[in-house]
Amino acid sequence: MRLLNTHSFELRSDDQAAFLQDGYAVLSHRWVGKEVTFDQLYKYLPAIKAAEKPLSSPQVDKIRGACITARNQGIKWMWIDSCCIDKSSTVEETESINSMFKWYRDATVCITYLCDVDKSFSPEPTNPQPFRSINRDGPSEWFFRGWTLQELLAPRRQLFYDTHWNYLGTKDDLAYSLEQITGIEMAYLTSKRHFGEACIATKMSWMAKRTTTRVEDIAYSMLGIFNVNMNPQYGEGIKAFRRLQQILLSTSTDESILAWRMPTLNAGAKYNFNLTDWKPDEWGLLAPFPEWFKDSGRVTVAGHPSTSTESRFSMVPSGIRAPVVLTSEMSSGEIITIVTIAITTCFVGLPGALIWAKKRRQKRMRSNWIFPLNCWERDEFGKMVQVKIYIRPLLPSKTQFKRVLCTEFGEGTEFLKNKERTMGTISQPEFGYIS
């Protein structure tokens, strides 16, 4: 770990444990323009130390302002992602990405700098909005960046400052406004409840409206939130998000990872250009992007018994293996109907009864099935309702399926109340690149 001395502005490299003895601060900020990188910092140190005004750029001024703000609180060390990571080293970059959440969590304080917020700017004096942007109609752009989500959740103590380093308040002080903007419950923001209690779908919904400069970072910026590790592979595009979901699927029994809705018809075409065999409202079980979880903030896995202590799903080359019912055998109702037809027609109608049963099974195979997940959502009346999705068999196979009607959750009872289930495969289209 490499930190800046808040007095000398010099960089020092050591284990995190060494800095924990003194305590250190971290800076949360939105990257704007050309930030000062690790290999450029030495060029600006003389000006930063001399406190020459104005400094050569807002980015340089931000480094000095962050260090001084930490120094004024008696903190000796400051970590800033833009200039404290040597990104020319793949090993160091990988370690930083996988450790960043821990660094923010263990910091004495997180200093959050909102460069597009001015405390003195208040177009609506009767309705003050502490995070209102001076550049746009709405809150600061800081709230719509991917990396800043973990920078909001991880710190134990967080202080917010405007563009002139005027103090705005703590995370606890501003929790109501933060909840209104982010959709994250105040209890999670104030640590009355640990955010780790939230299910996968809820956490994904927090990221749904956020973006990153590099598309892979949408996945990498959530590693600490889900407490998993990944090797970053820049260049893989949105496949990084699929890889993250595969890790979660293999390490968790939280089925809310499948509790998403397609935001619009044909939304899948944005991520895959080979959907010739798929209708506009069809997809697999894994969403291509957090955007598809934007309406899943009320999903939960808490307070309800799970049918299994182990994951019911596993990845295979053609999709995801899941426990679904087979219809290769006749149901008890169909057998009774065939016997009834045969008896009433003195067995002359037996061939006709068998033909009827065959057509009935074929019709059923072409129908949509309800597939219940081990997660729940609170409806408009406050009642907890089990989340269900629609799947459909891929004929002529009786063990291959795909998700259909992806813009909605399923309603009604499960198709066939068989106690015995067998493993089928739900197809998953290959994630492409954003158009």
pLDDT tens digits, one per residue of 181-198 = 999 999 999 999 999 999
- State whether 317 and 348 are in the same domain: no
| 56's tokens | 């050569």
> Which residue type sits at 271?
Y
> Quick one: 189 and 297 in the same domain?
no
Tell me, yes or no, whether 336 and 394 share the same domain: no
Chain centre distance of CA 273 = 24
Residues 6+ apart with CB under 8 A from 349: 341, 342
Identify whether 65 is part of a domain.
Answer: yes
What average pLDDT does range 342-369 have in this prediction?
Answer: 57
As for how many domains the chain has, the answer is: 3
pLDDT tops 70 at residue 345 = no
Of 66, 90, 88, nearest to 78 by C-alpha is 66
CB 111 within 8 A of CB 29: no
- With a pLDDT cut of 70, the percent of the chain lying above it is 83
Q: Answer whether residue 416 is part of any domain.
A: yes
Same domain, 64 and 169: yes
Domain membership of residue 142 as a residue range: 2-197
Question: 392 in a domain, yes or no?
Answer: yes
Note whether 99 and 166 are same-domain residues.
yes
- 46 and 154 housed in the same domain: yes
With 0-12 / 13-18 / 19 or more C-beta atoms within 10 angstroms meaning exposed / middle / buried, residue 419 is exposed
Report yes or no on 381 lying in a domain: yes
- Band (pLDDT 50/70/90 cuts) for residue 107 is very high
What is the mean predicted confidence (pLDDT) over 21-39?
Answer: 94
- Phi/psi for 94 (5° steps) reads -65, -45
pTM over 0.85: yes
Q: Do 172 and 184 lie in a common domain? A: yes
pLDDT tens-digit profile of 149-187? 999 999 999 999 999 999 999 999 999 999 999 999 999
Tell me, yes or no, whether 435 lies in a domain. no
Q: 3-state DSSP call for residue 296?
A: coil
Judged by average pLDDT, the poorest of 93-97, 188-192, 347-351, 427-431 is: 347-351
Residues 274 and 391 in one domain: yes
**Pair (297, 282) in one structural domain:** yes
Q: What is the largest CA-CA distance in the chain?
A: 106
Residue 312 has pLDDT above 70, yes or no: yes
Min mean pLDDT across 45-59, 101-115, 169-183, 408-422 is at 408-422
d(CA 114, CA 428): 40
Residue 236 belongs to a domain = no
Same domain, 140 and 284: no
* Together in a domain, 345 and 270: no
